[in-house]
């Protein structure tokens, strides 16, 4: 038998109990072998099991089915083993066989059947025992008929047979697998799954099939946690559904509530399920694992299953034991016959997130470091804060310094899901306010927008200034002005100041000619945007947010539906969005109420154009002595984007000629930019430099 000498103290008591019960199984096997030999006409036949002799047939004809008589010695031995187990439990030992019986509601017959099936996995001698008793050397596991015989039950007992039929507790919970389904019922083999055998013999390694789904989840306290903890202490506990809002983690709440109730938890990430996984089987394995560990099962997010249909959700919603499902959708009563406890959990406040950051960083930032202003705008869950803190520490250690603001922001940005990148172009900001060339009043409005973005958690969350009926928690701004005046760059600056990434929505992935598809694409974009900490930029927004018109045909009606949907979705959007347009007048008036800020970007004046020319030329490119930037700024009424195009075109000319950039290069590049814009090249505008044109 398996040795338990390597397992100290009370831990060894659980394995010793299992082995003692297996010794009782061995005693019954010995008795069965003795009975076989007493009626066997040729017990020393070397070819036993390979053929059936006439003597064997005669013996079978004379044999009447029935249960062997009870063995008083075996009953006494059983009593001694269980008395020793009682004393071990009173001393605090965890007897896994008994805990398994309580968790899965097994009776003594179930345990006997389980131990008989387990025996070959604990002691290889049982393979040969079972082969002899079944007259077949290839049958190394106990059949149903042999198991019933060893339990002292007749093979005709309906009650006993039901224990190993579909619906029996051992089969339903996958504690025993019935193999050889094409054979008659009594000759089908019984096998204990490796995970169950390992558990009874002292191992806590999780099931290999679930290892890829297991999730380490950090607890996060919330008011709703107390409700869940009280439910866990009640009699009617079974199924609970936690609906999480943006920035919330229902799994973290459930882990915290279970900890408060003194319960362990098994958290599974359902998004890691592969397309070819059998969801029903995974649910059975998950319930078995949770009950083996005496833990509650937490499955998140249930949205990953709802896309596969009702049956996939029921595979987890109707599992036995304590099951807590987490998702972002409302509960559908068709998901389960069990009525669940319904909870809704909101995101943590800025103060709560600051506390989580401080706990995770554990004093690794300077004492006077303003943590709230640095990371307050990141709407992270407790798990994301934990991972972001680890990422920040790794970043700082790699550079040989203490954790600073840049490390924290980089760690927070690293928690963004990649789903939005399939629908929008991600830009890591690289410009700041000092790179903008805009009028003072425009810069002031941009600074005000940054302040609103940073402090919205305090104003709308802590101070509740939005009112009890307000559903708007997001921030939306409109940047309007001619092309090239700095709208996209200003959105990048906004993201830079907030330490966020900029996601530019690609209209090609949004607009669809088929009815309803555009709305679906927009819904996916908004849903993914609420999962990331970033700034969402709708460039050329008038293409999507145009005015509704009088309905003359089906095209007008569906176009109006798209705009109406956008109005509703913007109302519920919880993130930061910037709409950029060259044609402000084309936007629907209803968007104005939903905008937190409207900033007009004017064409630059001469002094601003002079600074744009200087900035676009930079400091590294060699310049000729004939550059007249004052003339360029006064003569050509161009936006910053046009000036940049001209400077880059001139730089290519200079690089090809291996000379510094000259006024000729800039004037000729300006002529080409005019041609792109559809403008005429006139001598009065180009002045004395008109002669440089080809």
Query: Is the pLDDT assigned to residue 270 strictly greater than 50?
Result: yes
> Mind listing the pLDDT tens digit for each residue in 569-580?
777 788 899 988
CB 164 within 8 A of CB 190: yes
The pTM of the full predicted model, rounded to 2 decimals, is 0.80
CB 108 within 8 A of CB 153: no
**Two tokens at 371?**
């943590």
91 and 69 share one domain: yes
22 and 87 share one domain: yes
What distance in Å separates the CA atoms of residue 300 and residue 251, rounded to the nearest whole number?
7
**Two tokens at 293?**
């560990």
Tokens 């920035």, residue? 247
| Of 275 and 46, the one with more pLDDT | 275
SS3 for 193-259 is CHHHHHHHCCCCCCCHHHHCCECCCCCCCCHHHHHHHHHHCCCCCCEEEEEECCCCCHHHHHHHHHH
Distances (CA, A) of 291 to 110, 175, 191, 424, 530: 16, 11, 19, 43, 35
669 and 538 share one domain: no
Q: Residue 505 region, left (φ>0) first, then alpha (ψ -120 to 50), else beta?
A: beta
End-to-end CA distance of the chain: 99
CB 2 within 8 A of CB 85: no
193 and 324 share one domain: no
Query: Is the pLDDT assigned to residue 267 strictly greater than 60?
Result: yes
Q: Which domain holds residue 252?
A: 208-345
Beta-strand (E) ranges in 249-361?
264-269, 295-300, 323-327, 341-345
| Of 671 and 379, the one with more pLDDT | 671
Query: Is the pLDDT assigned to residue 458 strictly greater than 70?
Result: yes
| Of 471 and 13, the one with more pLDDT | 13
Domain presence at residue 196 = yes
219 and 180 share one domain: no
CB 67 within 8 A of CB 152: yes
Of 358, 383, 414, which closes a domain?
A: 414
| Of 519 and 105, the one with more pLDDT | 105
Q: What is the pLDDT of residue 218?
A: 87
Strands 239-244 and 190-191: unpaired
- The domain spanning residue 356 has which CATH number? 1.10.8
pLDDT > 90 in the chain, percent: 39
Phi and psi (nearest 5°) for 191? -135, 135
What's the structural domain count of the chain?
A: 5
Q: What is the mean pLDDT of residues 418-443?
A: 88
Q: What is the mean pLDDT of residues 669-691?
A: 91
Q: What is the mean pLDDT of residues 609-637?
A: 93
CB 354 within 8 A of CB 408: no
- Give the dihedral of Cα atoms 644, 646, 649, 650; nearest 10 deg: -110
- CA atoms lying within 13 Å on the CB side of residue 163: 23
Of 600, 627, 652, which closes a domain?
A: 600
- Confidence tier at 77 by pLDDT (50, 70, 90): confident
Domain presence at residue 143 = yes
16 and 127 share one domain: yes
| Of 609 and 560, the one with more pLDDT | 609
pLDDT > 70 in the chain, percent: 87
Range ranked top by mean pLDDT from 104-113, 125-134, 404-413: 104-113
Domain presence at residue 1 = no
What distance in Å separates the CA atoms of residue 31 and residue 129, rounded to the nearest whole number?
11
With H, G, I as helix, E, B as strand and everything else as coil, classify residue 300.
strand
């Amino acid at each position: 038998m398996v040795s338990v000498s390597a397992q100290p103290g009370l831990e060894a008591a659980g394995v010793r109990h299992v082995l003692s019960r297996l010794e009782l199984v061995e005693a019954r096997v010995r008795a069965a072998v003795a009975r076989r030999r007493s009626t066997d006409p040729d017990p020393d036949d070397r070819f036993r099991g390979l053929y059936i002799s006439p003597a064997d047939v005669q013996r079978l004809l004379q044999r009447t089915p029935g249960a062997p008589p009870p063995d008083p010695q075996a009953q006494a031995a059983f009593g001694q083993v269980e008395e020793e187990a009682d004393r071990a439990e009173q001393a605090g030992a965890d007897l896994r066989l008994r805990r398994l019986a309580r968790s899965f509601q097994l009776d003594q017959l179930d345990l006997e059947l389980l131990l008989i099936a387990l025996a070959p996995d604990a002691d290889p001698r049982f393979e040969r025992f079972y082969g002899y008793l079944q007259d077949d050397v290839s049958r190394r596991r106990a059949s149903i008929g042999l198991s019933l015989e060893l339990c002292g039950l007749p093979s005709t007992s309906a009650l006993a047979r039901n224990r190993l039929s579909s619906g029996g507790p051992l089969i339903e919970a996958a504690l025993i697998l019935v193999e050889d389904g094409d054979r008659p019922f009594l000759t089908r083999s019984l096998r204990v799954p490796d995970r169950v055998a390992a558990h009874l013999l002292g191992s806590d390694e999780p099931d290999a099939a679930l290892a890829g789904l297991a999730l380490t989840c950090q607890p996060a306290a919330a008011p709703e946690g107390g409700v869940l903890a009280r439910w866990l202490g009640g009699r009617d506990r079974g199924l609970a559904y936690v609906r999480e809002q943006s920035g919330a983690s229902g799994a973290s709440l459930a882990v915290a509530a279970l900890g408060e109730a003194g319960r362990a938890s098994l958290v599974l990430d359902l998004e890691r399920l592969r397309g070819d996984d059998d969801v029903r089987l995974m649910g059975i394995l998950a319930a078995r694992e949770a009950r083996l560990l005496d833990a509650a099962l937490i499955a998140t997010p249930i949205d990953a299953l709802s896309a596969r249909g009702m049956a996939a959700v029921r595979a987890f919603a109707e599992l036995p034991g304590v099951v807590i499902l987490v998702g972002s959708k409302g509960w559908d009563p068709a998901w389960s016959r069990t009525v669940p406890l319904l909870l809704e959990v909101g995101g943590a406040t800025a103060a709560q997130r600051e506390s989580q950051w401080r706990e995770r960083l554990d004093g690794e930032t300077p004492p006077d470091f303003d943590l709230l202003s640095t990371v307050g705008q990141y709407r992270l869950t407790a798990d994301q804060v934990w991972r972001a803190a680890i990422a920040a520490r790794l970043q700082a250690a790699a550079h040989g310094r203490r954790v600073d603001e840049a490390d924290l922001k980089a760690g927070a940005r690293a928690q963004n899901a990649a789903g939005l990148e399939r629908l929008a172009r991600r830009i890591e900001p690289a410009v700041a306010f000092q790179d903008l060339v805009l009028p003072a009043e425009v810069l002031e409005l941009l600074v005000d927008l940054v302040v609103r973005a940073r402090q919205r958690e305090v104003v709308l969350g802590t101070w509740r200034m939005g009112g009890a009926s307000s559903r708007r928690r997001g921030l939306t701004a409109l940047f309007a002005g001619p092309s090239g005046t700095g709208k996209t760059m200003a959105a990048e600056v906004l993201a830079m100041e907030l330490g966020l990434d900029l996601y530019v929505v690609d209209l090609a992935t949004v607009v669809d000619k088929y009815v309803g598809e555009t709305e679906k694409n927009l819904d996916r974009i908004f849903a993914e945007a609420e999962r990331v900490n970033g700034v969402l930029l709708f460039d050329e927004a008038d293409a999507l947010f145009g005015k509704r018109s009088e309905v003359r045909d089906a095209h007008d009606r569906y176009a109006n539906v798209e705009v109406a949907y956008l109005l509703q979705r913007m109302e519920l959007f919880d993130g930061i969005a910037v709409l950029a347009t060259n044609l402000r007048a084309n936007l629907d008036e209803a968007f104005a109420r939903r905008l937190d800020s409207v900033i007009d970007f004017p064409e630059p004046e001469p002094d601003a154009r002079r600074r744009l020319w200087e900035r676009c030329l930079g400091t590294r490119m060699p310049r000729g002595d004939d550059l007249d930037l004052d003339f360029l700024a006064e003569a050509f009424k161009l936006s910053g984007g046009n000036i940049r195009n001209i400077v880059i075109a001139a730089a290519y000319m200079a690089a090809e000629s291996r000379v510094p950039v000259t006024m000729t290069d800039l004037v000729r590049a300006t002529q080409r930019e005019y041609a792109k814009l559809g403008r005429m090249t006139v001598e009065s505008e180009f002045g004395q430099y008109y002669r440089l044109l080809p």
